[in-house]
Amino acid sequence: MEPYLLFSTESKAIVYNLQERAIQRMLDFDYLSQRETPSVAAVVNPGNTGVHKVFWGTKEIMIPVYPGIKEAIDAHPDVDIMVNFASFRSAYPSTREALLNERIRVVAVIAEGVPERRSRELAHLSKKLKKIIIGPATVGAIGAGAFKVGNTGGTLDNIKEQKLYRRGSVGLVTKSGGLLNEMFNIISHNTDGVFEGVAIGGDKYPGSGLLDHLLRYEKNPKVKMMVALGELGGDEEYHVVEALQKGLLTKPLVFWVMGTCSKMFPTEVQFGHAGAKAGDERETADAKNAALKSAGAIIPKSFDSLGDEIARTFISLQDQGRITPVKEPETIPLIPIDYAEAVKKGMIRKPTSFITTVADDRGEEVNYGGYPISEIVHSGGKLGDVISLLWFGRRFPKWASEFIELALMIVADHGPAVSGAHNAIIASRAGKDLISCLCSGLLTIGPRFGGAIDDCAKYMEDAFERDLAPREFVEEMKRKNVKIPGIGHRVKSLENPDGRVTILIEYARKNFPRTDLLDYALGVQGITTQKKSNLILNVDGTIGVLMVDMLRGTDFFTHEELKEIVSLGYLNGFFVLGRSIGLIGHTLDQKRMKQRLYRHPWDDILYLVEKK
């Protein structure tokens, strides 16, 4: 490749540090420019190996990932560029390593804050080795239709609008990265476009200067005119003045030094860049513009008229026959938009594989029942709110969500003898893992253990809706030979009431708008306890009827919806969730005991025998 060319359509790069979006943008630019091969050959992600999946047009390809620069270059001998996204701490050693490798011609250093001493060392080394550094503190560079450094040029829409997908006749160099895209825009609307554009970075000691790139453009026969942006501070622009005076730059050069507004301030001004500060009159923008103009550069009256001067210069060259208008490609490839971006912009719709109405994680954050999780947390939401949203798709009032939490606390455990806990304990003793033990306990939930919550609610509500008196309901269940779910307890009775039931009823009486089904169930209890005093409304039955009263009290549901909630097993879900807490506790307890405390009776016998 000719030494005056920064990039060609064959240029290939390694990208230091895995910058997924920048890499994809480079490849999209390649595809838009109709390159035959991707410009990114490899990624260096220190200490890591593997592959990085990217799009090449509509196809997915894999880019290899290497742990170090040498490994990447050795594996890809056609690489001649490194785009360095290292931090300011590691920018110096990584850039130096790349420069010392004979295959690397150009290194673009994106990092800001690289120490000035290190920047000067790198600049000196690159000149000694006859290589080029772009940066530090640069947005990058672009060879129109050939190669793009990282995020240079912005979005694909910008690149298309500024015709950067094909070569133009203008060579551009600027200190300001922020104005690079604006200059692309100005040039594309006033000429046939950019051949190459470089932002050298705003540090005081850039790796390559304005003159370095202007001299390259001077030697490039396809660059017919040049445009440069400087700024106040330093003496970079005076190197250009000397080159103009010596006749080293002969092509038309439109130049503007920014910072002329500094004279409006009463004191010395430090602009955004490290080097943008005039130490004396000679370093002011006005002084530089005057010196450049006297040396032969084309200087507009202000930045606003920069585009007009560029247009006049281009038209003059065209009239002289020194520029042949660039032909547009017959077709410009269409770059597919990423699916996530298309969805965000509302540009695409896709049938769902399955649907859920209670949660959605497709946006910026998860939504529970239409509420962003951050809103739930910041508004003082608790577990009961999350359950109401995820199970019922509605946010319950505070009294209802607190009742949900109370119910979970009450059903969390009922000792190790119940079937669920017993099974979990045995599974734990058998050496099973936590999840297996939990599942073992949960599988016993049914009509005789926990399942009475649903069944009690179903039978009681049906009888209540049919206006059956409690005695009529009890007699009907007797005729059907069906035990009334939620009625009866082995230990508790009217004389020895269940404290958990008392807590639930007291909360409901105090907080619920109405307790119609609870009152009906207590009426049924009044009939059943006439036979035996232990045929009381137990904790499962109490939770079942109060859950229905709670749902009624929210006024969120129709009668049909309430029946569906009960029939689908929603209410038993509270028992499953609460009891899971207890089952996990029993499992972990047994594992802990087995590790530290458990002794089999035979251990004592063997101990005595051995002692004898």
Catalytically annotated residues: 273
Strand 371-372 and strand 170-174: the pairing is unpaired
Q: What are the distances in angstroms from CA 179 to CA 184, 199, 214, 283? A: 9, 9, 18, 21
Tokens of 446: 């049914």
Measured CA distances, 460 to 342, 508, 568 (Å) = 52, 17, 16
With CA atoms as reference, report the closest residue to 288 among 208, 213, 233.
233
10 Å Cβ neighbour count for 518?
Answer: 23
d(CA 467, CA 458): 14
In whole angstroms, give the CA distance from residue 431 to residue 488.
36
Backbone angles phi, psi at 62, to 5 degrees: -110, 130
- The Cα 333–Cα 55 span in angstroms is 14
| 221, two tokens | 């026969």
Identity of the amino acid at 583? L
- For residues 94 and 130, what is the distance between their CA atoms, to the nearest angstrom? 18
Sheet containing strand 141-143, strands side by side = 147-148, 141-143, 194-199, 170-174, 225-231, 253-258
Residue 415's closest CA among 491, 495, 483? 491
Say how far apart CA 463 and CA 473 lie, in whole Å. 6
Alpha carbon separation from 501 to 271, 337, 408, 531 (Å, rounded)? 73, 59, 13, 21
Residues 6+ apart with CB under 8 A from 593: none
Q: Using the 8-state DSSP alphabet, how is residue 334 labeled?
A: P
| Amino acid at position 178, single letter | G
Alpha-carbon distance of 525 to 484, in angstroms, equals 10
- Helix, strand, coil tally for the chain in percent (to 5): 45, 10, 40
Between CA 569 and CA 559 the distance in angstroms is 16
User: Shortest CA distance to 388 belongs to which of 225, 551, 524?
Assistant: 551
Q: Give the whole-angstrom CA distance, residue 549 versus residue 399.
A: 12
Spell out the residues 6+ positions from residue 415 whose beta carbon is closer than 8 angstroms to its own.
421
How many other CB atoms are found less than 10 A from the CB of residue 393? 15
* 113 and 86 Cβ atoms separated by less than 8 Å: no
Tokens of 136: 């530090």
Number of H-type helices and E-type strands within the chain: 24, 16
- Torsion (CA) 183, 188, 191, 196 in degrees, nearest 10: 70
